[in-house]
Each structure stands twice: as C-alpha cells, then as structure tokens.
Amino acid sequence: MPRVLSGVQPTGQLHLGNYTGAIRQFLDLQAAGHEMYVFVASYHALTSARDPVQLRANIHQIVVDYLAFGLDPAKTHIYLQHDVPEVTELCWLLSCVCPMSLMEKAVSYKDKLAKGMSANVGLFTYPLLQAADILAVDAELVPVGKDQVQHLELARDIAGRFNSDFKAEVFQLPEYRLAGDAGLLPGTDGEKMSKSYGNTIDPFQDEPALRKRILSIKTDSLGLHQAKDPERCSVYQIFRAIAGAQDARTLALAERYRTPGTAGFGYGHAKLALAELVLEHFSDARQRRIALMAKPEYIAEVLRQGARAARAKAQEVVSRARTAVGL
C-alpha cells in the first residue's frame, strides 16, 4: 500500500474542523494498513509563533490529541518535525534547484500576507520545507485539504526538476488524497472553522462548556414551525460531517428541518442533537485524552520511536540526494 505522510501545525487545540478535514483521514488510512508517518509541523509554526512556552505546550497537546483520537504508535510513526534534521538538509538541496517563480506562485503566501502575517523568508519558502517533509520519507500519498493542493503540486514539480537536473531518480512523485467538503467545516459564526477566527469547537472541552459552545452556533431567524433548508445551516453541516451524509441520524435530522410537524422543530433542537452526537462520537477519545495527560513519559517514548523511524527513512533519501548532487 502507498506510504502516507501528513502533519498538523501546533497552533493551538485541535478542533472539529481538524478532525473531519485531517485526523479522520489519518485514522481511515491507518485502519487500511498503510505505512503512516504523521508529524507535528514545529518548524512550520515558527513562521508566526513567537512564544516558546506556548509553542512547547501546543506541540505536546497536538501529540496527546493525535493519540486520543486514535492514532496508534504501533501502526503510525508519530514524530516532531524538528527531531528529523535530515528534513532541513533536504530542504536546502531542494532550494538549490527550485526556481523563484515557483515560490512566487504560491497562493497561500499571498493569502497570509493579505491577512496581515509578516513577510518573512520562512513564510515565502514554506512550500519548500513542506516538499522536504514529504520527500524525506518517500511518501507516496499525502492527505490534503483544498488549500494545500497547490503545495503538493509544487512538491511534485520540485522533485521532478531535481531528478531531471541530476539525471537520477532520487525522488518519487507523491500523489494527494483530497479531504473533500468535510475539510471546509463551518465554525460557530458560519465561516470556515479556524483557530485564527476564534470560531472553533473543541470536542475535548468539558461537557457544560462544550454544550454552551454548540448552542452559540449562529443560525437564521426562521421560527419553530417554519420549514428550513438544512444545507444552509452550520449546525446541520457539522452534524453531517461527523455522522456521515448517509447515516440514518443525518437523514432523519434533515427531514425534521424540512418538515417541522405540528410540534415544530427549531435550531435549538438541532443544536441539542449535535451536542449529543459530539459527546457520543468522541466519548472514547475524551476518556483516552484524560488518561494520556497523566503519561508524559509515554508521550516522550512515542515521539522517540517515531523520530527513529522517520530519521531512518530520511537518511536513506538524503544519502541518495547527496550522491546525486556529488556530495
């Protein structure tokens, strides 16, 4: 089966958007028997992170959440980006063949500048480091959201150029697997769920706070007895993303939106249904997370094992690249 690589930046608590857009894909691929490499993108975070204490806390929390959601270190290599120095060496080798024009095409760089992020070199060359992450472990399949497809295509372009320039098949060209619409989960305000927007829903939050958060989801003003379009409602969209579009509960909820009946059906009912679904769906994960928070030694050992596996693979790749360039 194809070797899989993916990662998440440690920018804060993982939320439902991360789960439906990334983590669930990791779990599906793990269950299918793929060789998995899943990392915490600590170097990528430095393009904007400026609080070292908070960064260390975020990194630890991401690993805990990976494990709580169900990633199994016996099946998935979990590691920190900065524990695999071969990646940064490979990034330099790739930078020496990458045309400036490729980096200038990166839409995400322009988008982040438009949002007020500092125009540092790390942000500009972000796709290069991402390419090194992918190519360092000979990844064949990379799960991505729609906003990351261009970066995967850039990685393929850079790998192909390297192979061509040095007339050696150093890198295989990775394919991507699109997260689909689940990766565009709406937040409490109806915009894309994102930590930067402050509109996220944390499935590990204490139950009273979690229920309150779900009840705060923005809806329109249609009344109890008025028919409603579920496709236009953030509450329904989140419910469907978690339960599945063809799940009986999802279909029943959609019908209640469209046909309120004599008793009526309001958005409050939908929010209560979503709260129950989230608590049920993540019940085991919530219990695992509580246990994991008390096991820092176990977390550290998981990361050591993951880094050893990733470095062993990356050393093979870097050795091929060095030989190809004449080092």
In this structure, what CATH number is given to the domain that contains residue 55? 3.40.50.620
Name the domain count of the chain: 2
The residue from 75, 115, 195, 228 that is catalytic is 195
**Are 79 and 170 part of one and the same domain?**
yes
Q: Determine, yes or no, domain membership for 190.
A: no
241/318 same-domain check: no
Q: What is the pTM of this model?
A: 0.91
Q: Residue 200 falls within a domain, yes or no?
A: no
81 Cβ contact list (under 8 Å, min separation 6): 7, 39, 40, 41, 42, 43, 44, 87, 133
Instruction: Per-residue pLDDT tens, the chain, 327 aa: give them.
Output: 899 999 999 988 899 999 998 899 999 999 999 999 999 999 999 988 999 999 999 999 999 999 999 999 999 999 999 999 999 999 999 999 999 988 888 777 777 777 777 778 988 899 999 999 999 999 999 998 777 888 899 999 999 999 999 999 999 999 998 865 555 799 999 998 988 789 999 999 999 999 999 999 999 999 999 999 999 999 999 999 999 999 999 999 999 999 999 899 999 999 999 999 999 999 999 999 999 999 999 999 999 999 999 999 999 999 999 999 999
CA angle, 13 as apex, 278 and 60 as ends, to 5°? 125
Indicate if 112 belongs to the active site: yes
Q: Are residues 105 and 227 in the same domain?
A: no
Domain that holds residue 122: 4-185+295-325
Confirm whether 290 is domain-assigned: no
In this structure, is residue 191 part of a structural domain? no
Statement to judge: residues 226 and 266 lie in one domain: yes
Same domain, residue pair 211 and 244 = yes
Write down how long the chain is.
Answer: 327
**Is 150 within a domain?**
yes
Q: Which residues pair with 8 in a beta bridge?
A: 40
**Quick one: 26 and 106 in the same domain?**
yes
Q: One of 75, 110, 112, 228 is an active-site residue; which one?
A: 112
Residues 277 and 300 in one domain: no
* Active-site entry in 75, 192, 271, 295: 192
